[in-house]
Structure formats: C-alpha cells, structure tokens
Structure 1
Amino acid sequence: MTQPVWNDVDDYISGLLVGPDEALENALAASDRAGLPQINVAPNHGKLLNLIARIHGARRILEFGTLAGYSTIWLARALPADGELITLEADPHHAEVAKGNIAAAGLADRVEVKVGKALDTLPTLDGTFDLFFIDADKANNPAYVRWALDHSRPGTVIIVDNVVRGGRVLDADSTDPSVVGTRELATLLANEPRVSATMVQTVGGKGYDGFALVVVDS
C-alpha cells in the first residue's frame, strides 16, 4: 500500500462519517493563512478523540499542544455545557490563531488557552482531569505522562499521539529526541503499575504513525 491509497481511504472515511463542518474547515483555513505547520490531526482522528471523550463522559480535559485549535474543537464539543478544557500552547502566535478558531466555533466559554511551555504551566494547574490528549513536543512525553498520572483519578484516560514515528520507534540507537522520548514513554507505560495501556499503529493522510491509549487503574 502507498501514501496515495492511504490518502484516498482517509478521504472516503471522512466524507462518509465526518462530513462537511464549517467551523473545522475554517479553523484549518485560518491555520494555513497564518503559516502554521499542517500537523493537525486528520478529521477521522479528530472524530475519534471526540467519540472517546463522549464515551468516557469527560467533564475536564487537558490538552498538550494546541496548534490552531483543530483537535481542541473536536474535544471541546464532547464536553457538557459546564465542562472545561484547558489547552497548553508554547507558541504565542499559534495560541492567538487557536483562540480565534475556538471562539468562532462557539466554544470560548469552555476552553482556556494557556500560553507558555507546558512544563512551566503545569505547576499552575490544580485538581484532576478526566482525559488528557498529549500532542506536543515528543521529547517531553514521559514528563507529561508522569504529571498526568499524578493528576488523574481511577478511570482517567490518557491519549498520546505520534508514538510510532514512521517505525523509527524501533531504533534503540536513535539520538532523535522525539524517538528517544517516545521509547522512554513506552518503557514508562510498560512498568507503571497504575495503568493499563496499549499503542496502536495507524496509516492515513498523515502518513504512518500511531497513538498510545492509557487508562488509569489506581
């Protein structure tokens, strides 16, 4: 199978099961106009995040890595009217684009964009969260997950994106910080008694990658 086939299948799935969505399409267009990298989740993956949050009944979500707010919109739509989503973005320009997209989607009342490096922002946050979506700098994924575990309850869900790295996760000798961080994350999850976890490979419009799905047991 080749990338064009993966693209066509993603388009087929999204056309049937996601469909047109003005707010999301406008968010992507605003991202392109602002010159942001095209690294948002695919539409069918965005809907997967939404469905997981809905199945879980999440009321409080923390997202690492806002970019233009595309995945933020998908997750925030799963919240009840009194729910809360906090999203962390290191780049002030990205954050401003995201704020506009979130407001245009009618979700500003339940989403707070915090600007700054996540490891600097996390100490300012209190309480536990029902769901974490981690899609930021991969080198710090182990630190993000450790923090998430300390701010979870039994049943909290943690999703970590981009954990296959096009297969490069197999390279134990890699010095790429994203690969090193991903391998450290896998080892952490394998040895963490508080969780049940798996990793799933994916192919599609975004290439060959995957995500980790974690449930906190205790």
Structure 2
Amino acid sequence: MNQAQYIRTLFAREDEVLRSIEGGLADRGMPRISVPPETGKTLYLLAKMSGARDILEIGALGGYSTIWLARALPKDGRLISLELKEEHAAFARENADRAGVGQQVEFRVGDASELLNALENEGVSFDFIFIDADKERYADYLERSIRLARPGAVITADNVLRGGRVCDESDRTPSTVAIRRFNEGLSRDSRLESMLLPVGDGLAVARVR
C-alpha cells in the first residue's frame, strides 16, 4: 500500500456512485481525469468548514468533484457547475442525481468565459469556487472568480503541480507554463491569501480578503 492508498483507505473512502464514475467515463470514451478521492475529500472539508452556501465549479466532466462539493452544502445551498461539452454535463447530471444531490446542482453548458460573463451580468456571487478546466485559461478564470466571489470566499484550483513539472523550468509545454504563471500570480495577488497543498496533483487554496 502506497501513501495515497493509505490516505484514501482511512480518510477518503468512496461510495458506490463515486467509485462508478471512472468506469463510466471509460465506457463513454471520456477522459479519465477526475480529481482523486483525497482531493475530493479536501474540497468537501474546505467547503464545509467555510460554511459555503453558494458554490461555483468551473469544469464538471463526470460530476465527481461536483458530488463531493454538493455534499458539503446545507439543504438550502446550491452549486452551479460550468461544462463545455453537453455529453459530459449529461453524465454529470446523471451521477449527481444518483448521488442524491441533483436538486441542488445546476449544470450550464458552453464556453466557460461566456458562462462566467453571464453570471456576472446576473449579479450572482459565490462563497466557494473550484477551478478545474483548461489549464491555459486558469489565470483568466481566477480573475473572473475573484469578481464573482464574496468577501471571505474560498477559491480553489486543481492540477497546480502538474505532476511536479511546474518545478522543472525546462518544461515549456503550454499547459505547464500557464500553470506556472497562474501559481506565481496567485502568490503575488494582494487581494488573496493563498497556499498550494500537495494533495493529489496539487490544490491551490485562496481566501478573498
């Protein structure tokens, strides 16, 4: 048993719905890139401890992280999840319903930037935001998230270590360069109090001042 398996066995056990999502993604030819259980549990705890009532998720895929986050909501809480592809959103809806959180989750399909513009125009705000979409637009998603965040809100982002590649300056692939810049910008942003957690593939956690 390795370290990740040890943590999952004790602290991040999956129920039947969560366990089934990876196989469902494979059956549908969708990328199997959901957050690992330990990241899901960390997101759940952060949302729960922050008392989140309105959550925004940028990137749903099969709804794995959606379920962890929705389970942290109070009964009158809500989660809006943005997803580019209708087939991904449909599978995520199915899984959210199976997990018993479907009534609290709204999936919106389309380009994230356009959907975020619409949310700003609606005048809505959130107290917890999770970014897990195309890495090259993370910096833009962060800026938009700050505009949609209430004071004291928590903003999180996945894959910020890129398997350790962010530490290798010779890695100039666009996604790694984008995440490296995102991390550097996050560390300097005076509007935020931030930290990177070595959970899963790296989880950025920031509090809006």
TM-score, normalized by the shorter chain, greater than 0.5 = yes
Correspondence for 1:54: 48
Q: Cα 1:31–1:16, aligned 2, differ >3 Å: closer, same or farther?
A: same
Q: Cα 1:19–1:171, aligned 2, differ >3 Å: closer, same or farther?
A: closer
Distance 1:168 1:19 in 2: 28
Displacement of 1:117 in angstroms is 1.5
User: What do the CA deviations read for 1:22-72 (whole angstroms, capped 9, x no partner)?
Assistant: 221233332222122221111122111111110001000111110100010
Correspondence for 1:15: 9
Count how many residue pairs are aligned between Structure 1 and Structure 2. 206
Correspondence for 1:85: 79
Name which of 101, 104, 113 aligns with 1:110. 104
- RMSD between superposed Cα atoms in Å: 1.7
1:98 aligns with 2:92: yes
Correspondence for 2:203: 211
| Bigger Cα displacement from structure 2, 36-45 vs 185-194 | 185-194
1:19 counterpart SS class = coil
Displacement of 1:115 in angstroms is 0.9
Correspondence for 1:76: 70
Structure 1 portions without partners, runs of 5+: 204-208
| Bigger Cα displacement from structure 2, 30-39 vs 138-147 | 30-39
Displacement of 1:211 in angstroms is 1.7
1:36 counterpart SS class = coil
1:178 aligns with 2:175: yes
Identity %: 43
For normalisation by structure 1, the TM-score amounts to 0.88
Displacement of 1:19 in angstroms is 3.0
Correspondence for 1:206: none
Correspondence for 1:161: 158
User: In structure 2, what residue type is equivalent to 1:39?
Assistant: I
Distance 2:184 2:43 in 1: 24
- Conservation of the 8 A alpha-carbon contact between 1:62 and 1:86: yes
Correspondence for 2:148: 151
Correspondence for 1:201: 198
Q: Cα 1:35–1:18, aligned 2, differ >3 Å: closer, same or farther?
A: same
Displacement of 1:135 in angstroms is 0.8
User: In structure 1, what residue type is equivalent to 2:87?
Assistant: H
For normalisation by structure 2, the TM-score amounts to 0.91
User: In structure 1, what residue type is equivalent to 2:63?
Assistant: G
Name which of 130, 133, 137 aligns with 1:133. 130
Distance 1:98 1:159 in 2: 20
